[in-house]
Amino acid sequence: MSNVLTWGFLRYIGQRLAMAIVTLWALATMTFVFMRAVPGDPLTRTKEIPAAVRANLEQRYGLNKPLWKQYIIQMDRMFLHADFGESFRTVDRSVNRMIIENFPASATIGIFAMIFGTITGLGLGIIAALYRNSAIDRAAMLLCVVGIAIPSALIAYVVQYFLAVFPLVKLHVNQDYWFRPVGWGQFRDVILPGFTLSLGIITMMTRYMRSQMVDVAFAEFVRTARAKGASTFRVITLHQIRNAILPVVSLLGPIFVGAISGSLLIENVFGVPGLGAAYFNSISNSDYNVLMGLTVFYGGFFIVINLITDIVYGLIDPRIRFG
Amino acid sequence: MWITNRLAHQSALASLLSVLLGSGTVIAEQKSREQRIADNEVYFSSGDEPPSMDISKQVDSVSSMWLGHIYEGLMRTNAAGAIIPGTAESVSISPDKTTWTFKIRPSAKWQDGVPVKAQDFVYSWRRLVDPAYASEYSFIAITASLVNADAIVSKKLPKEQLGVRALDDHTLEVKLSRPVAFFDSLTSFQVFYPLRQDIVEKFAGSFATDPASLIGNGPYRLARWQKEQSMRIEKSDTYWDAGNIKIKAIESPAMVKDGQANFNNFRTGGIDTTGVSTPEIIRQAQAAKLKIETFQTGCTETLAFNVRPGRLFANKKLRHAVRAGLNRSEYVNKIVGVPGYKPAFRMVPDYMPGSQPGLTYRQEVKSPPVKDFDVPTTQRLVKEYLADTKQTQIPAFTLLFDDSVVAKKMAEYFQHSLSKLLGNEVKVETVPFKTRLQKSRDGQFDMVFFGWCPDYRDPMTFMDLLANNNENNSSGWSSPAYNKLIEQANSEADKAKRVQLFKAAEDILEEEAPVAVTDVSGGALTAAPELKGVKRTIFGFAPDFRAAYWDHK
């Protein structure tokens, strides 16, 4: 690891950070263009707002300014003042407050899903690969196909019904010591939405890990290790898993950002006070500031996580050098 | 349980999560239904997060519901949906119906004990029309014809010129620019609630964002608001009619919009009442032997024709052919599948009041019944149309619908049934909601599904829609005779004469058929058997818990 703290490494980080800012700016600009290109604006209603009232609202929100000016105002506020502005829909609520108040809930179920999903998925993938073509392997692969085929909406309802409603209504388990279908504020409330969210991660991890393990099993260094007389356990853990897991690590960043970015459906079904509803509403209401703010927030998160992934990748893979 | 076992081994994870959980949330204790019944509390799901709790700013069903319990207007609705005195104890109306004088109850108090004054209404209404404040709902003041409201919103006059003033602390005088027969019902509406200048100014930008900054004059005060998570209101002892309020606290323990999730939460005792709003949930409710109550939400739903020149439905015969042949009962029962919806034939729904007490508008004008699914008439009209235009088949046309799951199902139904009825090709275009609005307004469609919900208790709220100055009239239909009748009705002080003017206008719609009305909307709910008196009225907010109580057997 002595290669880490070199000038090359620092220059690499610097370059990546500069790229990150350019990428974020490009993301913000594209978001601006696309959301303005969509028909309607934040003031489009089923019952149209009368012209005089609309004029007052446009003035208040600055929507009557030329587009390029609105663009400059938004970019300046966002990148130079770290302020995402106010929502047009939930009036008086700043996007910054929205993130502070509701991101923790999305992140909580995301982190739970991430940890549970990754551990379970890796485990299943390893076992399926070691017992290739056995009943366990087939069961794991069936689970993956089912996991991809069933829409997450249905999975959320199924999980809610069989793990909360059925036990409480039919089996009469004690309400205080069991999952409730809807609720937030206690640790038990994390499990159902977190578990539902983790199913996608498990599916992806299992398939990926299994195929990596199978690939590695026929690699020359594994054969060499066996030939040297290393124990089966040693071959599997030190040679096979360690090599198979490397490409999987690069998946963790995107999966993590995906997991914490709030699923409208899962949050809505289980009553999780996350950002999912706000994100969804911002799209259907053309709520420019919220849509832009959350996109840039998650985009920034994604870029940072990717950077960390690359660095970690360098730490665990001796073939990668910075500089 | 393998999930919990596995988790038990991940104690490090558990502690990490509880740190995260604790950071953003206040953990509120939730009571079981037995406890709630004993303590006179009701839990329900209010759906979305209320977009704003500032009365003048945002009018949507969720905010209205909470604010309707926290504030009270000059008039209020009773359990039967009738208008009765609220914060005002009486009202006197000048013979020309343009000057309304309200007497504020001396016993009316704000939740901090300060008496409610006439000036509080003046302040609130001026704020509503203030162009600098820019309330989206300032147009309601224009609809109500408050003197100068229009000019103030258009920045031609200062807000102090609004036709409302306090003659003394307990007397409010309102001047209208024309007789508005339904003005009393408007004063029960959210944006006409009073506001305290000192509180609004003290909190400024953070007004009405938490319990400290939101002080109302109604039966309940805000006790807790966790964003996107929960809301709780508790009975206020300062309310003048507190003796008649039975439920001590109303809480939405989670802000969940999903009907199935709410139903599941209801079944496990998490909430005490919930909507059963899809055929699938109704089936489950029936299987669980729950009692289902239906209610009306009162929106008229229509297929609007594009009558602009050059468009297929510029032809009147064809519009009549479609209108006559629609199978509304099949549509309502099989496709919508939600009890509470009813087939409808005319813009003004059955529930709309007429000029005399106890008689609806529909009963008063004695509208003849219309035959549903009148296929022979359709066939005759189609034949005539084809002969008139020397064609052998009706050209293909396009139905414009939203792209939601529900709307797609409706679109498919109308595509199939209209094609069968008219014997031609019917296409469907499903687009996002805002694109649909845009296309309707630009006249880029042949037929569009369009619903309209009433703003106030008068046929005008529907009749006005097809007048030529209305931005929402997407059909492109316009009739000088119709416009004239609507104008006359707008300035007519005599209620009975107004009804006759509406009748004459409706006859024009009957003759011209710019829209084919399909149904009037409704819904269904279920509640804990012991919970009584929860109201859902069309013009009030819903659910209304002011008359609710637990039946302690």
CATH number at residue A218: 1.10.3720.10
- What pLDDT is recorded for position B19? 47
Q: Check B17 against A111: CB less than 8 A apart.
A: yes
* pLDDT tens track for B40-60: 999 999 988 898 999 998 778
Q: Is B228 part of the contact surface with chain A (CB cutoff 8 Å)?
A: yes
* pLDDT tens track for B352-378: 988 888 889 999 999 888 899 999 999
Least confident of A167-176, B188-197, B237-246: A167-176
Q: Is A185 helix (H, G, I), strand (E, B) or coil?
A: coil
Q: Does the structure show a pLDDT above 70 at A321? A: no
Q: Verify that A113 and A142 share a domain, yes or no.
A: yes
- What pLDDT is recorded for position B11? 41
Q: Which helix (H) or strand (E) element contains residue B48? A: none
Concatenating the DSSP letter of every residue in B243-275 gives GG---SEEEESS----HHHHHHHHHTTS-SEEE
Q: Check A181 against B18: CB less than 8 A apart.
A: no
Q: Is B35 part of the contact surface with chain A (CB cutoff 8 Å)?
A: no
Q: Which residues pair with A16 in a beta bridge?
A: none
Q: Is B153 part of the contact surface with chain A (CB cutoff 8 Å)?
A: yes
B271, B402, B434, B441: which to substitute to probe chain A, counting the most A Cβ within 10 Å? Answer: B434
Does residue A96 sit within a domain? no
Cβ neighbours of B36 (radius 10 Å): 23
Q: Provide CATH 3.90.76.10 ranges for chain B.
A: 71-218
Read off the pLDDT band of B4 (50, 70, 90). Answer: very low
Q: Verify that A269 and A295 share a domain, yes or no.
A: no
List the single residue in B with minimal CA-CA distance to A37: B435
Which residue from B295, B298, B296, B350 is spatially nearest to B454, judged by alpha carbons? B298
CA atoms within 13 A on the CB side of A49: 21
Q: Verify that A61 and A16 share a domain, yes or no.
A: yes
Omega of the bond prior to B543 within 30 degrees of 0, cis? yes
Q: Is B11 part of the contact surface with chain A (CB cutoff 8 Å)?
A: no
Read off the pLDDT band of B104 (50, 70, 90). Answer: very high
User: How many domains would you assign to chain A?
Assistant: 2
User: Which of the residue ranges A291-295, B136-140, B255-259 has the most confident prediction, judged by mean pLDDT?
Assistant: A291-295
Chain B residues near residue A195 by CB distance under 8 angstroms: 3
- What is the pairing mode between strands B41-43 and B249-252? parallel
Read off the pLDDT band of B201 (50, 70, 90). Answer: very high
- What pLDDT is recorded for position A15? 87
Mean of pLDDT values over B107-118: 97
Q: Verify that A230 and A82 share a domain, yes or no.
A: no
What is the distance in angstroms between the Cα of B531 and the nearest Cα belonging to chain A? 20
- Which sign, positive or negative, has the C-alpha torsion B81, B87, B89, B90? negative
Q: Verify that A297 and A279 share a domain, yes or no.
A: no
Q: Provide CATH 3.10.105.10 ranges for chain B.
A: 296-523
Cβ neighbours of B261 (radius 10 Å): 24
What is the distance in angstroms between the Cα of B176 and the nearest Cα belonging to chain A? 20
Q: What is the ipTM of this complex?
A: 0.88
B15, B21, B63: which to substitute to probe chain A, counting the most A Cβ within 10 Å? Answer: B21
Cβ neighbours of A295 (radius 10 Å): 22
Does residue A94 sit within a domain? no
> Rg of the Cα trace of chain B?
26
Q: Check A268 against B267: CB less than 8 A apart.
A: no
Residues 82-101 of B with CB under 8 A from A: none
- What pLDDT is recorded for position B323? 96
Contact between A85 and A74 (Cβ < 8 Å): yes
Instruction: Give residue B298's region: left, alpha or beta (phi > 0; psi -120 to 50).
Output: left
Q: Is B16 part of the contact surface with chain A (CB cutoff 8 Å)?
A: yes
Q: Does the structure show a pLDDT above 60 at B8? A: no
Q: Check A183 against B30: CB less than 8 A apart.
A: yes
A115 Cβ contact partners less than 8 Å away, ≥ 6 residues apart:
B10, B13
Least confident of A74-78, A264-268, B526-530: A264-268
Read off the pLDDT band of A17 (50, 70, 90). Answer: confident
- What pLDDT is recorded for position B456? 86
From the list B48, B134, B255, the residue facing A57 with the nearest CB is B134
Q: Verify that A71 and A215 share a domain, yes or no.
A: no
A223 Cβ contact partners less than 8 Å away, ≥ 6 residues apart:
none
Mean of pLDDT values over B26-39: 82
Which pTM was predicted?
0.89
Interatomic CA distance for residues B512 and B305, integer angstroms: 11
- What pLDDT is recorded for position B27? 52
Read off the pLDDT band of A4 (50, 70, 90). Answer: low
Tokens of B348: 């003004």
* pLDDT tens track for A227-252: 888 888 888 888 888 888 888 888 88
Which residue from A181, A200, A201, A152 is spatially nearest to A272, judged by alpha carbons? A181
Collect contacts of A131-139 with beta carbons under 8 A, ≥24 apart.
Answer: A132/A214, A137/A210
**CATH T-level topology, domain B296-523:** Dipeptide-binding Protein; domain 3 (3.10.105)
Does residue A256 sit within a domain? yes
Mean of pLDDT values over A213-228: 86
Helices marked H in A131-241: 135-149, 152-160, 166-169, 188-217, 220-227, 232-234
B61 Cβ contact partners less than 8 Å away, ≥ 6 residues apart:
B47, B541, B542
What is the distance in angstroms between the Cα of A12 and the nearest Cα belonging to chain B? 32
Domain containing A207: what range? 103-284
Q: Verify that A240 and A174 share a domain, yes or no.
A: yes
- What pLDDT is recorded for position B410? 94
Mean of pLDDT values over B445-450: 94
Q: Verify that A213 and A135 share a domain, yes or no.
A: yes
Which residue from B279, B224, B234, B256 is spatially nearest to B28, judged by alpha carbons? B224
Q: Check B10 against A277: CB less than 8 A apart.
A: no
Interatomic CA distance for residues B226 and A184, integer angstroms: 11
| Cα-Cα end-to-end distance for chain B | 39
Contact between B294 and B522 (Cβ < 8 Å): yes
Q: Check A269 against B261: CB less than 8 A apart.
A: yes
Q: Check A91 against B267: CB less than 8 A apart.
A: no
- What pLDDT is recorded for position A176? 80
- What pLDDT is recorded for position A228? 87
Chain A residues near residue B432 by CB distance under 8 angstroms: 38-39, 284
- What is the pairing mode between strands B531-532 and B549-550? antiparallel
Torsion of CA A188, A192, A197, A203, to 10 degrees: 110
Q: Does the structure show a pLDDT above 80 at B14? A: no
Least confident of A169-173, B315-319, B443-447: A169-173
Q: Does the structure show a pLDDT above 50 at B308? A: yes
Cβ neighbours of B251 (radius 10 Å): 24
- What pLDDT is recorded for position A322? 61
From the list A44, A105, A265, the residue facing B437 with the nearest CB is A44
Q: Does the structure show a pLDDT above 50 at A89? A: yes
Q: What angle do CA A275, A276, A277 make, to 5 degrees?
A: 95
Q: Check A269 against B441: CB less than 8 A apart.
A: no
How many percent of chain B have pLDDT more than 70?
95
What is the distance in angstroms between the Cα of A46 and the nearest Cα belonging to chain B? 7
Q: Verify that A74 and A50 share a domain, yes or no.
A: yes
Residue-averaged pLDDT of chain B:
91
Helices marked H in B148-224: 149-153, 183-186, 197-203
Mean of pLDDT values over A8-18: 84
Contact between B37 and B552 (Cβ < 8 Å): yes
List the single residue in B with minimal CA-CA distance to A190: B17
Q: Is B414 helix (H, G, I), strand (E, B) or coil?
A: helix
What is the distance in angstroms between the Cα of B177 and the nearest Cα belonging to chain A? 18
Does residue A40 sit within a domain? yes
Q: Verify that A48 and A135 share a domain, yes or no.
A: no
Q: Does the structure show a pLDDT above 80 at B36? A: yes
DSSP state of B192: G
Concatenating the DSSP letter of every residue in B206-235 gives GTTSSGGG---SSSEEEEEEETTTEEEEEE
Q: Verify that A21 and A142 share a domain, yes or no.
A: no
Q: Does the structure show a pLDDT above 60 at B22? A: no
List the single residue in B with minimal CA-CA distance to A183: B254
Q: Which residues pair with B146 in a beta bridge?
A: B176
Interatomic CA distance for residues B379 and A162, integer angstroms: 53
| Cα-Cα end-to-end distance for chain A | 14
- What pLDDT is recorded for position B172? 98
CATH of domain B71-218: 3.90.76.10
Does residue A162 sit within a domain? yes
Interatomic CA distance for residues B522 and A168, integer angstroms: 31
What is the distance in angstroms between the Cα of A208 and the nearest Cα belonging to chain B? 23
Q: Verify that A256 and A126 share a domain, yes or no.
A: yes
Does residue A97 sit within a domain? no
> Rg of the Cα trace of chain A?
24
List the single residue in A with minimal CA-CA distance to B254: A271
- Exposure of B145 by Cβ count < 10 A (0-12 exposed, 13-18 middle, 19+ buried)? buried
